[in-house]
Amino acid sequence: MRIAAALLSSLAISLPAVAGSIQAPGVIAGPDSGPTTGNPAAALYNPAALARAKGLQSMLDVQLASIRIDATSWRNGGFDPNTGEPYTLAKARVKAPVTFLGVSYEVLPDQLTAGLGIATPFIGGGDYTAGENNPPSYTSHQRYFGVNTKVITGQFIPALSYTPVKDWGLHIGGGMTYTLDIIQVTKTSNTGTEGLGTMVVDGQQVAAPYTTDAVLKGEAMGSHIGWNVGLLYDKYEQAQVGVSYTSGGTFHAEGDATVEFPGFLVTGGESKEVKGDVEVNIKLPPIIRAGLNSQVTDAWNVGVSWDHYQWNKCCGKKDGDIDIKLQDKQGNAIGDGDDDVQISVAKQQYSPRRLWDASNYTLFTGYQLDDRVWVGGRVGYNQNAVPDYAVGATNLDFENAGFQVGARYRLPMGDDGERGMTLGLAYSKFFLFTRSIAGTAWGADVPDERFSPTEAPYNVSGDGVYEGRVDIVGFRLAYDG
């Protein structure tokens, strides 16, 4: 019984320092995010660009993303093989807050700048339901994926920028990323005996094909460490060029889990919960970033950025991509050795993500209306990091295109106005490309060659049509002096 393997088979990790998704491009740290960013956000995007953050600067960005995903299934022709009824619409409605807090300080004028960034991005997950009249939520066709999955991280990013020779206009930088990993899941998985069991609907006992599903609930926490390096060339205002590289890593979390076995698998006929331990390891890709910013006039700038996520480098093999260990409190397979439970869960499991590389492309511009008011915007196209069979209820990382608009107001402080507070607002909207997925059923013999690698997916059932949208509202509070 592969509960855990199916748990994360469709999960795509996606945060600004790891992959492009609902926050990217330019949501954390606002409209000026990128490898030429001249503020404390450079600790995240390109540590060399900290050289452009003069004096003491600090900033707080808070973004709230509203994600709407709808999925309809065409597995088995769109009909439940056990009931003959059409599959119900599965919905994900997620409110995902993301934040960035940063500070930078010019230790040696025009030579050495230190920075620290703290980010708390939401990186994946969703709460799927099967429709208002079809409780519980995990009875939808999405039962093979996560029913309610949240993957959250907290990042601490200290960084330095060094300028060897001022007249060259060349800056080098490096930093370390310490990431706190948190995952919360509620997951169902079929036990191989579909069609058994009953449930009460409108006071009548009817067949309930999915009451045979065991339910895994768990919460795990851990951490991993990475690093980033970068270069910035800004000798000429008309051509400021930045490049950076962020290392890959492995999302790691350990914690408590509970598996609830349905009554028909338990002696006596009553469901039973067995407590255990879960460990999750998910490989994450290296990232290459590049950007060009041109200060066309004193007030007007334009630029372009490119983020490339090397998913195939970290996750291109057919197994071992997501490594899951699940056992009871005595170190045995959950259900093994329990006289009441008639089935056990494999302790060691893998869930493959044979992923492609992905890129984000962004065009941005800004205009300084006067000493206090700045307005700007950006448009972007973000590629999907996953092949077709990895799209599912726990994966919100679709191919998408969108825009962002923002404005900032600076309030000078002191007699000379050299210090100041800045308030900013931004709005982003991303349109997720509709995905029609086929050939993903359990042990499918023939993959969908439009998307899939050469081998058929294993233990994944996600045929259907996926569509959605993302709206994001952001706020900035900053200080410079």
What residues does each domain of the chain span? 3-480
Which residue's structure tokens are 């009460």?
200
Most confident listed range (21-25, 74-78, 241-245): 241-245
State the CB neighbour count (10 A cutoff) for residue 82. 14
State the CB neighbour count (10 A cutoff) for residue 409. 13
Amino acid code (one letter) for 474:
G
- The reported pLDDT for the residue numbered 461 is 53
CA distance 461 to 141: 9
Confidence of residue 149 (pLDDT cuts 50, 70, 90): low
Amino acid code (one letter) for 125:
G
Phi, psi of 74 (to 5 degrees): -120, 15
- Tell me which of 61-65, 207-211, 255-259 is least confident: 207-211
Express as a percent the part of the chain with pLDDT over 90: 33
**16 or 71, greater pLDDT:** 71
CA distance 282 to 301: 39
- The reported pLDDT for the residue numbered 73 is 65
Indicate whether 129 pLDDT > 70. Answer: no
Indicate whether 344 pLDDT > 80. Answer: no
What would the two tokens of residue 381 be? 């196209």
Please, which residues bridge with residue 288 across strands?
245, 308
Which residue's structure tokens are 């300084």?
368
Helix (H, G, I), strand (E, B) or coil at 36: coil
Indicate whether 395 pLDDT > 70. Answer: no
- Tell me which of 14-18, 75-79, 373-377 is least confident: 14-18
CA distance 8 to 142: 13
Q: Span 46-75, mean pLDDT?
A: 85
Most confident listed range (216-220, 284-288, 359-363, 408-412): 408-412
**395 with 389: CB under 8 angstroms?**
no
Which residue's structure tokens are 């990232």?
287
- The reported pLDDT for the residue numbered 317 is 59
Q: Span 174-186, mean pLDDT?
A: 88
Q: Span 57-61, mean pLDDT?
A: 94
What would the two tokens of residue 188 be? 């169902």
Indicate whether 225 pLDDT > 90. Answer: yes
**321 or 24, greater pLDDT:** 321
Sign of CA dihedral 58, 360, 471, 185: negative
- The reported pLDDT for the residue numbered 263 is 77
Most confident listed range (52-61, 77-86, 127-136, 150-159): 52-61
- Tell me which of 14-28, 117-131, 302-316 is least confident: 14-28
What would the two tokens of residue 256 be? 């408590």
| CATH code reported for the domain at 3-480 | 2.40.160.60
Mean pLDDT of the chain: 75
What would the two tokens of residue 142 be? 């999405």
Phi, psi of 168 (to 5 degrees): -75, -30
Dump strand ranges (E) for 237-389: 239-246, 249-261, 272-284, 287-295, 300-309, 322-328, 348-351, 358-368, 373-382
Distance of CA 277 to the CA centre of its chain: 24
Confidence of residue 215 (pLDDT cuts 50, 70, 90): confident
CA distance 171 to 162: 6
State the CB neighbour count (10 A cutoff) for residue 301. 22
- The reported pLDDT for the residue numbered 408 is 94
CA distance 28 to 121: 8
Helix (H, G, I), strand (E, B) or coil at 185: strand
Tens-place pLDDT, residues 435-470? 776 655 444 444 444 444 444 444 445 567 777 788
Indicate whether 396 pLDDT > 50. Answer: no
